[in-house]
Structure 1
Amino acid sequence: MKRRQFVYLVGIATASGGLAIACDANSNQATTELGQTATELGQTATELEQELVIYSGRNEKLIGELIKQFEAQTGAKIQVRYGDTAELASAILEEGTNSPADVFFGQDAGALGALQKAGRTVQLPSALVNQVDSAYRSPEGQWVGVTGRVRTVDYNTNLVKAEELPSSIFGFTDPKWQGKIGWAPTNGSFQSFVTGLRVTEGEDRAKEWLEGIKANDPKVYPNNTSIVEALTRGEIAVGFVNHYYLERIKQDNPEVPVEHHFTEDIGSLVNVAGIAIINSANHPNIAQTFAEFLLNEDAQNYFASQTYEYPLASGVAAKGNLKSLNEIRKQEKRIDLSNLNDLDNTLKLLQQVAII
């Protein structure tokens, strides 16, 4: 697979201007999706640029509809470069201040943290970032989470009883799980989990876990979807995945014999997809407006009902039979998600243990 590596630069970006809002072509008054007026926010419609360039590690199937809504609402021309999150972050670093990117919409917090540490992001308005719990945003306000996803151990209820499942992810290194596990070592979400494991438990403990699972002869799959599909067929008993893949499958077939198991440690890591504004942005006002748009109630409900992720803005609940984020946070060690940026050493560890 491609090795993904971030280049680190020195510097902290300064804050950009205030929050602008969208203009309704059918009204003399600019409004946001939530009905706030330009006057209420101290802005005028003329301050909103009519172009926006987004570098998106989130694929078009997940966010394309929302971008169309934002384009219609603002009348702006939106250009989106879709691609791998890590590769797009690397592109922004390589392009330097000549990068056309106004906004980086990353699939995981590690890439957002890498751009922040490289000095390529700006401080976001406190009114924006404070909509999201401090666990799911940059401590310095340089990026903010939009949606959350939880690592779960999904299991086939015909093959495993809930009380048989260990409370720790390390419990699956027990030989009794020989031949019963499914995982996807080349998948980005799995590698982010291993990075989290390294950060919270240390290098030796992370290596011990990888070696223990490998010794149990797990079945290897290319991605989360194929793991959950294998679980529905009874091909494996348990699988390490993100929570929303099962939620999607259950929308079509609610009777599948598969449920979530949330461990009481880093095995239930909460990672985020989030947004940062690039410090060389040519269109900073509309970039901030887009960030605000993603956190409004309508967009957050869209993510909850269409992508089955956890909404991160206050007051919007997740859909489905899921533990609340507050319950999950009680289980895991507190972690600064910006520190999930060291993917390079995770890849080295996976290669050292001969897993990839």
Structure 2
Amino acid sequence: MKKHYWLLSGLAALMLAGCSSDEESKTAEEASAEAPESTEVMEDQTKQTEPLVVYLNDFDELIEPLFEEASGYDIELVSGNGAEVQSRIEAEKSNPNWDVVWIDGQGSFARWEEDGILLEDISLENETNLNEFGESLVPTSKAYYPTGAHAASVIVYNTNEISAEDAPKTWEDLTNSKYKGVVGMADPAVAAPAYPFVAWFFEDLGMDGGKEFFTKLFDNGTKVYPKNPNVVEALLSGDLKIAALQESNAYKMKQDGEPIEIVWPKEGAPASVRYAAISKKTDQEEVAKAFISFLLEKETQEEMISAGTEGYFTSPVKEVASPDNRHQEAPLFIADPANAAKNEAEIKEWFADQSVQ
């Protein structure tokens, strides 16, 4: 198995860097030792002449040994943050070098489906494992399958600066003048999870309503940082007192003992869905299906949830619980993939035109 990582430097790293600060994934040795035995290696299974190439943005150290041990297939992982994976797939449209893509961001999958680069009408052995939530996330084309959904942002506040009584409880609260100049968020044009967060408001409120809401935030001094780890740094330095922050970053701060508290807005939290899809030009269709089906195994899902702060997500698989300390007290809102894809260019351009940090 070969594994590749895209390394960026200077300004390129700043603009394309990923959104997760989690470094708690299990080692390959640990994961291999705990590999589920749900998939037997059959003598008549599809023979490989080369590894299955998977583009992904998380869980690489965990999933490679689990899948290879359980299936007997070889995989080659190409790992990068969400923006890097999206850019690479766009650049390879006419000559894809990947068989499976598995990343966050429902809008990208809808766009790729519209572009005709995804295999449709996929039938998976384990699609019956999906719970009601998971079934609701499968498009009618069956071109991509959900493997989890997490809050693209929750509200986080510095407890040294703000009391629980004075902390914001809703998204609209962030526009209150008493929070002027102390609120921050990640840039939806750079941070992959930030776009599903923003896309929900533009879908729920309409394009004009979405612009009005975020204009109120900007007029109240809301600061925009390239990515979620930058928001974390600003919270710790005192540059911010409150943030709209991706939940895995928020729980990582909590686990590290930082002086923050997490608020699930009572109306709900916009979510980012991690999907898996297969290239229409793959010559390993059956192996690719086996990989995605493996991701929908109950045991695989449980390994992912126990793998560190990236495990803070809602599973689409039956009888799989979220981490015990994930006190989700509000629903997840899923921006429609097709709408997110349709409005992506306009929304990102509008954000780029705003006079914010």
**What TM-score bracket applies, with the shorter chain setting the length?**
0.7 to 0.9
Tell whether 2:270 aligns with 1:269. yes
Which residue among 63, 66, 84 is the counterpart of 1:66?
63
Give 1:348's aligned residue.
349
Displacement after TM superposition at 1:282 (Å): 0.8
Counterpart contact for 2:103–2:276, Cα < 8 Å:
yes
CA distance in 1, matches of 2:135, 2:92: 30
CA distance in 1, matches of 2:221, 2:302: 40
> Which one-letter code corresponds to 1:35 in the other structure?
S
CA distance in 2, matches of 1:168, 1:36: 45
| Percent of residue pairs bearing the same amino acid type | 21
Tell whether 2:206 aligns with 1:210. no
The C-alpha deviation readout for 1:208-235, integer Å capped at 9, x for no partner, is 1222111222344342233234435554
Displacement after TM superposition at 1:44 (Å): 6.2
Tell whether 2:308 aligns with 1:309. no
Displacement after TM superposition at 1:143 (Å): 0.9
Greater alpha carbon shift after TM alignment, 94-103 vs 140-149: 94-103
Structure 1: tracts of 5 or more residues without a match:
5-31
**TM-score, normalised relative to structure 2:** 0.76
Give 2:19's aligned residue.
none
CA RMSD of aligned residues (A): 3.1
Tell whether 2:180 aligns with 1:178. yes
The C-alpha deviation readout for 1:220-254, integer Å capped at 9, x for no partner, is 4342233234435554321111111122233343x
Aligned pairs (5 A) from 1:226-305: 226-232=230-236, 234-253=238-257, 256-265=258-267, 268-305=269-306
Tell whether 2:77 aligns with 1:101. no
Displacement after TM superposition at 1:147 (Å): 2.2
> Which one-letter code corresponds to 1:337 in the other structure?
P
> Which one-letter code corresponds to 1:309 in the other structure?
Y
Displacement after TM superposition at 1:73 (Å): 3.6
Residues 75, 248 of structure 1: alpha-carbon distance in 2 compared, 3 angstrom cutoff? same
CA distance in 2, matches of 1:109, 1:92: 15
- Give the secondary structure class of the aligned counterpart of 1:285: helix
Count of equivalent residues? 316
Aligned pairs (5 A) from 1:1-356: 33-37=36-40, 45-47=44-46, 49=48, 51-59=50-58, 62-86=59-83, 88-89=85-86, 91-92=88-89, 95-96=92-93, 98-121=95-118, 122-125=120-123, 127-132=125-130, 133-150=134-151, 151-185=153-187, 186-232=190-236, 234-253=238-257, 256-265=258-267, 268-305=269-306, 306=308, 307-310=310-313, 311-324=315-328, 327-329=330-332, 332=333, 335-341=335-341, 342-355=343-356
**TM-score, normalised relative to structure 1:** 0.77
Residues 69, 273 of structure 1: alpha-carbon distance in 2 compared, 3 angstrom cutoff? same
Counterpart contact for 1:136–1:145, Cα < 8 Å:
yes
Residues 274, 349 of structure 1: alpha-carbon distance in 2 compared, 3 angstrom cutoff? same
